[in-house]
Every structure is written in structure tokens, then in C-alpha cells.
């Protein structure tokens, strides 16, 4: 499936689409620029396209931006198993090696933050620095409560729903627009900035819902792994970014005690989809961090 290009973003000629095959799976990667590589990992319910503004800025600053569709998302294959973050981190590490990059900077958003933590912890020799944004990490953060007021649960309820086997697909198939629009409307603060139609098309493709939900269904295994990872704090520099109208300081609080060098930023006037809603401020913080990193 070809994902449409945002007409407001002149990026069609700036981006190069590539596919690598790792452990029998086809992974979709999109690159821009030249220089020190920066791997960008999106979360749910988005695709590589969430990084389009960041990629252009990184390329202009002399970096090679590499945005990936993790397994199950976007134009990558959707295997039946292997969605725990350790398995996905291994695939992405191998994909980067195939692309010729043994060391790289790393940025992860939402579920991509879970993956980024696993990749940085499991392969510290490969990750020069890591930016993690807009999530808490299963196994490091406390499990979210369920007995709370509805307005407090807007960012939490889907953790349980998405883990239920088969029922979400049964209820949502054919209604992807309604389900995902509900998410984007409530999680975004600057709603107009989010390319929701692009993501809805991606998750409406055969297997798209299952591939996204699989990350939530793998949470018990991810928690088991993260409890082991927590015994060895990340040694590389870490930047934790939250949004005022979403996770706030939760990314930083999640990582404190689990990284030797961690700093936090909260972007004001912004919702969960921070790379799209506040790209200039997000990019400013990321570039300043990368310029200081070894």
C-alpha cells in the first residue's frame, strides 16, 4: 500500500523508500539526508510518516534520518508473533546493520519509545544516544489504574481493550475511521496538524489492526524483559520529552533511575502527537541534544 504524501509538506523527492529483509520479514524504511544516522521509531496508531517534519530538519542539519515502520505497522510485514520489544529491537538492530550502520542515534515515540528502550538496553554498543517521547514503559512504570474518573482515563483505557484477543478486530473492522478518529480527536491538542487520514488508511489494510494491537498483547512478555533490563541503567545520554496536554513529565519519571544521564523536557501547548503538533519545538530540543551527544 502506498501511503499518501501530505500536500503541505514538499517531501516526495526528499525521501527515499527502501525495504530490507530481516529474519524473513520485509521492513519498510524511509531515509533523508546524509551524515550521522538517526533511527526514528513511530508508535501506534501512526507510521513512519509521523517523522516527516523531523526527517527534513535532521537532513538539513547534516544527519541521515532513517524512519522505519516496525513489524505490523505501515508498509512492513505483519507476522503472527514477535511483537515483544526485545524481538522488535533485534530486528531493527539487524536492519540498521544491513543499511550499513553499526552505531546510530535513536528516537522513539509512544510504542516506539518502548522499542527504543529495549534497543538501547539490549544493544548499548550500537546506540550513541536516545530520545524517548510521549509514553511510559511497561515494567518500569506502574501499571495504569482502571478505577478512575472517565476524564482521567482518556490515555489509559485502550491498554486493556487492545490486549483483548480477537474482539477489537471484530468490533472495529469496517469502522476503522470511527475508532481511530476517536483516538486522534482526544489525544491531539493541535488536531489539524496530525495526518490522521494517512494513518487510518494504513490501519484499515488487511492485518493492520492486528499488527498494531499485537504490541499491546505482547505487554506481559515486554514487562518480563524490562524487569531484567531495569537491573542495568542505560549508559548513553537520554532525553525524555513529554507534552503538556498528554504525558507531561511521565516519560522523565519513568526513566529516572533507569538511565545514568537523563534530562527531561515538556513541550507546551501540545498533545500526544508531538512530532506533528509542535515540530519546530520538538526538533529544536532534539537537535540541541544530538549536537551535545558523543
Give the per-residue pLDDT at 153: 66
Mean pLDDT of 15-23: 97
- Tell me what pLDDT residue 143 has: 79
Per the CB < 8 A criterion, the answer to whether 172 and 23 are in contact is no
pLDDT in tens, 202-261: 999 999 999 999 999 999 999 999 999 999 999 999 999 999 999 999 999 999 999 999
Question: pTM to 2 decimals?
Answer: 0.94
Q: What is the pLDDT of residue 125?
A: 98
Quick: pLDDT tens for 26-65.
999 999 999 999 999 999 999 999 999 999 999 999 999 9
Q: Give the burial class of 10: count Cβ atoms within 10 A of its Cβ; 0-12 exposed, 13-18 middle, 19 or more buried.
A: exposed
Q: What is the DSSP-derived secondary structure letter of residue 7?
A: T
| Preceding omega of 139 cis (within 30 degrees of 0) | no
8 pLDDT above the threshold of 50: no
Quote the pLDDT of residue 5.
38
Higher pLDDT, 2 or 183: 183
* Rounded to 5°, angle at Cα 266 from 108 and 111: 25
Give the pLDDT mean for 188-193: 97
pLDDT surpassing 90 at residue 111 = yes
Give, in degrees to the nearest 5, the angle at Cα 161 between 241 and 2: 65
User: With the C-alpha atoms ordered 113, 6, 53, 128, is the resulting torsion angle positive or negative?
Assistant: positive
Give pLDDT tens digits for 118-151.
999 999 999 999 999 999 999 998 877 777 777 6
What is the per-residue pLDDT for 145?
75
Domain 16-292 belongs to what architecture?
3-Layer(aba) Sandwich (3.40)
Amino acid at each position: 500500500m502506498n501511503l499518501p504524501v501530505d500536500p503541505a509538506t514538499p517531501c516526495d523527492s526528499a525521501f527515499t523508500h527502501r525495504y530490507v529483509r530481516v529474519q524473513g520479514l520485509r521492513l519498510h524504511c524511509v531515509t533523508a539526508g546524509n551524515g550521522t544516522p538517526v533511527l526514528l521509531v513511530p508508535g501506534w496508531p501512526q507510521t513512519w510518516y509521523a517523522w516527516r517534519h523531523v526527517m527534513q530538519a535532521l537532513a538539513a542539519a547534516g544527519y541521515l534520518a532513517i524512519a522505519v515502520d516496525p513489524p505490523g505497522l505501515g508498509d512492513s510485514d505483519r507476522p503472527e508473533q514477535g511483537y515483544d520489544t526485545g524481538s522488535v529491537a533485534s530486528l531493527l538492530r539487524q536492519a540498521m546493520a544491513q543499511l550499513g550502520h553499526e552505531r546510530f542515534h535513536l528516537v522513539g515515540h509512544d510504542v516506539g519509545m518502548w522499542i527504543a528502550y529495549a534497543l538501547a538496553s539490549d544493544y548499548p554498543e550500537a546506540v550513541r544516544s536516545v530520545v524517548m517521547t510521549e509514553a511510559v514503559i511497561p515494567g518500569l512504570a506502574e501499571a495504569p489504574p482502571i478505577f478512575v474518573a472517565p476524564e482521567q482515563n482518556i490515555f489509559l483505557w485502550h491498554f486493556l481493550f487492545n490486549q483483548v484477543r480477537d474482539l477489537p478486530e471484530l468490533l472495529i473492522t469496517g469502522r476503522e475511521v470511527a475508532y481511530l478518529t476517536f483516538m486522534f480527536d482526544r489525544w491531539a491538542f493541535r488536531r489539524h496538524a496530525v495526518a490522521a487520514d494517512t494513518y487510518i488508511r494504513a490501519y484499515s489494510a488487511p492485518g493492520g489492526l492486528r499488527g498494531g494491537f499485537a504490541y499491546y498483547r505482547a505487554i506481559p512478555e515486554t514487562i518480563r524483559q524490562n524487569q531484567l533490563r531495569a537491573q542495568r541503567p542505560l549508559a548513553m545520554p537520554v532525553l525524555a520529552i513529554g507534552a503538556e496536554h498528554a504525558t507531561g513529565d511521565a516519560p522523565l519519571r519513568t526513566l529516572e533511575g533507569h538511565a545514568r544521564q537523563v534530562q527531561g523536557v515538556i513541550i507546551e501547548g501540545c498533545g500526544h502527537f508531538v512530532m506533528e503538533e509542535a515540530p519546530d519545538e520538538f526538533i529544536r530540543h532534539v537537535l540541541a541534544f544530538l549536537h551535545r551527544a558523543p
